[in-house]
Structures are given as C-alpha cells and as structure tokens.
Structure 1
Amino acid sequence: MNFDYLIQNITTTDKVLHTEAAKAINKALTARNWLIGLYIVEFEQNGEDRAKYGKKLLENLAKKLNSKGLSFRNLKLFRQFYLEFPQLSEPIKLYLVSQSSTLKLSNSIGQSLIAQLQVVDSQLNTLKPQQIFDGLSYTHLTELLHIKEPLKRTFYEMECIKGVWTHRELQRQIHSLYFERMGLSAQPEKLATLVQNKNIPATPIDLIKDEHIFEFLGLSHQLLEESTLENALLDHLQEFMLELGNGFCLEARQKRILIGEEYYYLDLLFYHKILKCQILIDLKVEKFNHAHAGQMTTYLNYFKETQMTEGDNPPIGILLVTEKDKALVHFATAGNDNLLVSNYQLYLPTKEQLEEFIEKEMKLLE
C-alpha cells in the first residue's frame, strides 16, 4: 500500500461514514416525529379522556413536555406530518425493528403501525415508501407538506431524491414553480437536465444543518456549521460595536425570529440607550444582492410591529456585505424618519468606519 492509496482510503471512509451518520440522524428524527403524530391522532380518536382536553390538547402537551423540540408548533406539525404521509408506516416499522435493542414498542402502537401498511394511493405513480424514508429528511418532508396535489408532491419527491437537493434547494425550486414550468416546457427533459446540472448536491454537513436536527439533538443553534471567516468577523464586529460606546447594549447573537411558519436568524441585535431603538446587524460574507436588502426590510418590519415597546423609536438595520478585496456597506433604515439625521451621525458608526473595520479584519483573517 503506497501513501496515495492510504490517503484515498481514509478520505473515502471519512466521507461515506459522515454521510451514513447524517442519514441515521435524519431517519431517527423522521421516525420520532411521525410516531409522535401517530400517538396524538390515536389519542384524539380513542383516548379515554380525549374530550377533557379537546382543542387544548397540543397546548397542554407542549406545556407538560416542556421541551424546545416538542413545542406546540412542532407537535402540530408532527400531527400533520403523520396524516399527510401515512405510507411511511412500513419503512418506519422496519426501521424500529432494526433499532429494537434500543426502542421497544407497545402492542397497541405496533398494531396501529401494521394497520397503516397498505395505505398507499395506487392511482398515482408514487414513490415507494422506503424510497421516501431513505431519500428525504424530515426537513424536506415538512416543506412538501404544503403541497396538497399528490402528483405535484410526487414530482418534487422524485426530483429532490434524484438531485440530492438540500432543503433550501427544494424550497427554491418550489418557489420558482419548477413543476409548473415543466408542464409548460416544450422540452421538459432539457429543463430537468438544466435544473439538476445547476444544483450542487447536498453534503453530509448539509444533511444535518437545520433547526430540526439541532432541536432533536439538544444542541444550540450557535453550534451550527459556519465558516471560520464569518465567525471571526462576527466576534470582532460584536467587540467593535460595543467598544464604540455611545449607548450600544448587546441583546442577542444569532437571534431566532419566527415569521409565519419559518425561523430566521439575525446575526447581532443591539439596543441603543440614547436613540431608544433596537439596532439589527446582519453580515453576509458574499457580494451584495437585492435579496439581502429585502430580508433586512422584513426583519425591520417584524421588529417594528412585534418588538417595540412604549417609548421606543423604530429599529435601525445595518447590512454588511463583504468581498475579498473590498467592503460594501448598505444601510437599510426603512421606517426611521422620526430619528434625526444628526443622531445617526453622532451615535452610529459611519459608513467609512464600517468599511475600514471590514477591510482590516479581512486582511487579518487571510
């Protein structure tokens, strides 16, 4: 065995087992959430004291369970997940049998699973349940829950598995009306090839890099895989803002925001004691595009409507976008007309200060 062969063996083993570990976590998460959905539906239909809890069942459950991963919102989602994907009973049953040394099911639950085995829509060219269980993570499946048309859902299931899409890529293709474009295209095969060739397949890190996995494993979102560059910039940016003085108070880092049914994360959140407002800072280690400004505007509108208290002024947003040899700084300050420009100049860092900071940090981190 030569040195190159040793490198090849280690690299291949590392990559394969990383992938298998990621898939194992995703399968466990999918099985857990589907089973919790089953338990809830079973209780709603056959529970001895189901009438006692009624519409408050999920709220009471969340309160008693008292776990971040078993919140009211998640329990509601698990229930919907079970009802929308009954065909997963067979692969989940087989999965649980394979895990029998660590998890034993009661007879009643086992019977419920067996009763669901044949629930498959034979009228459609559907994927086999095992293909769905093996090929799609729980996060993918929750995205597909919003698609009620069976043929359309099956289309995205197949394309996602075939292209090894990340959750974000699946979301992007749904939002770009890929299914509808295929129906209108004169050359659907070429469109499919074009879409799949443009996609970057998911890596093992991509497979586990989402909020559901972190909640399932009981980890903090701040442990989420990020580039060394981005982490270092945020560390120093936090120090830079606080060292400016002038009333900056750090409220949160990686502030989690729930808008509709989706979570977003704001890099840094400050409160300014003199300006009497929150200051939102988002760092993008890439070239500026209009989507960044749109996202910051959404954050500002959210904080203005839900987070302002009596006496507060509307929030201020600062969006920092970096390039290797250049710093572009874009201010998104929508809705802050009542704050005097002089106050901005006096108490906030100037564009020049921020540009100088980023250029300096980028050089130090090269």
Structure 2
Amino acid sequence: MTDDLSLPDGYAEWLGDLKERIRSARQRAALAVNTELLRLYWQIGREIADRQEAQGWGAKVIARISQDLRLAFPDMTGLSKRNLAYMRAFALAWPDPEFVQQPAAQIPWTHHQMLLDKFDEAQPRLAYAAAAVEHGWSRNVMSIHIEARTLERSGRGITNFERTLPPETSDLAREIVKDPYNFEFLGVGGEAMEREIEKALVDHVTEFLVELGVGFAYVGRQVLLEVGGEDFFIDLLFYHLRLRCYVVIELKAGKFRPEHLGQLNFYLAAVDGEMAHPDDAPTIGILLCQSRNQVVAEYSLRGSTQPLGVAEYQLRASLPSVERLQQELSGPE
C-alpha cells in the first residue's frame, strides 16, 4: 500500500542524520564489546603466565582450566585449550595492559591470532594491526598483505618527494612507493619486453591495484597526450584518491638509466598542463625497472624539480629452455 502522507520539511535530512548516528553507535558498541573481550583474554592469559612461572603449571592444568570454564559457561566460545594458549601468548606479546588504547585493541581476536602466528616482534604486529584498522582489512586480506610483505616494502623506493612536495603530502607520497614491486602474479619471465609486461598488468589490473596499494584508481594504458601537435603515450596512468593527483608509471624492462627520467619528467609536466584539474596536486612519477644502482638513482633524482620515484619490480624466475634442460641432463660429452 502506498503511503500518501506528505513528509514534513527537513525530514529526509533528519532521517539521514539519524541513520548515521545509529550506524556510529552500533560501531562504537561493537568496538566496546571487542575491547572488553580482548581485555578479558589478556587478563586470563596474564594470570595463566604468572601462575605457570610461580607455581609451575603445566599443560594438564591448562586443559583442566579449559574443561572447567566450558562447563561453567557452555554457551561461550573461545575457552578451548588452544585458545587459552593464545591468550597466554597474547598477554606476553602485549605486556602493557594499556594496549587497549592502541590500534591493536580495535581488531578482532582472530586477527590477533594470526599476528601471533606470523610475528615474534611487537613492531610488525602493531604495524599490521594499525593498517588493518585504517583500511578495514578482513582477516583474509590481512593475511594476503602479510604474505606479500606489503608494509615492509612500502616507502622503500628512492624518491625526491621530501624536496619536491609540500611537507603535508611528502610522507604519504613516499609511503605509496614500494620496493620491490612483486609482479610474479603476471606469469611472465624476466626476459619479457616492456609492452608484454604492460599488457599483462592491465589484464591482471585487480591484482596490480592490490600490489600498488590503497588509493590508486586505474586511468589507462598507453594514454594519449597531445602536446604541440605531437602525440605521446604514457605507459600507465593512475589517479591517487588520497593524494588527489595523477600518478604516471613508466616501465623499463632492463636496468635503470639516468636518461629514463627525462622522458618521465616530460610526461609529468604534460599531465599537469593538459589533463590535471587546477585543484589537483602535482603529478607524481614512478619509474619501475628490473634492477637499479642505488647511488646512480639517487644522483639522477637530485637535479629534478618534479616529484619522482625509482623502484624495482620482480617477475617470476624464467624457466630454462628445453635445449638447456637437455644439455644439463645429458651432461658433458
């Protein structure tokens, strides 16, 4: 049945605001429940660890604790012997009870279990916990980033951003340049030509965007730039949503050479002049090569006034040819 009741002025705006407040309240409630659960698990784990040290509790006592707790709380999950062991490890991993003030307290327990399994040190655990909170990573997505060593590679490219970008954006810009980039998902070997790699990256653009990181939006491959009546083509063009700027990526199939930056400098100036909106930040250029000399790359960037970065990329190892395999199997004549 259709409701013909006319709505009062401002109803739609009020309803939208009410919905947002309900969503926020539910999110805060879920976060509070998660924080309380983690605090409880930390306390249980801390007391188990203390009593083990003071009284020599062994595995049999832990198993009995699990049995007794599950009898007392039959509807409560997470009281298995295995989970109690995780609680102990959790308390030892975060010895300061004020960890609840850190990003670690904002991720679910299953995330913590994975972090405990993957890392022995606090720094990477905290870094991936913070990234999971910032980007809303699920447990599976966080696992993918841990296996890919995403955070360990972020910000390791050679750049001149500190000198060529405003202080408020240079740090974030540095973080978007990994080194090395892992393109093994392309399924092409190290002997592949530049155009072959470009095409493979576009064919696997979803995986490519995951490897680039959060914030990249794909614009196109071999993007046409008309400058002074001449046509030029950008290898790969992206737009970064947080930096609010275009990002030009140039691929080189071999070793980095200083002259590679000349072409990239031209592309950045052309994109700023022909494509970018007046409100966009300066276009950033990233040159990806299969190998580079660090000192040569650093000197090459010193003279540039455009924001540029240089990083390596990795392809899968090339398989030996049939002829080579036959030679190796037959041995010396």
TM-score range, shorter chain: 0.3 to 0.5
The structure showing larger relative contact order (alpha-carbon pairs under 8 Å, at least 6 residues apart) is: 2
Compute the TM-score of the two structures, normalised by the length of structure 2: 0.42
The structure with the largest alpha-carbon Rg is: 2
Could you tell me the TM-score, scaled by structure 1's length? 0.38
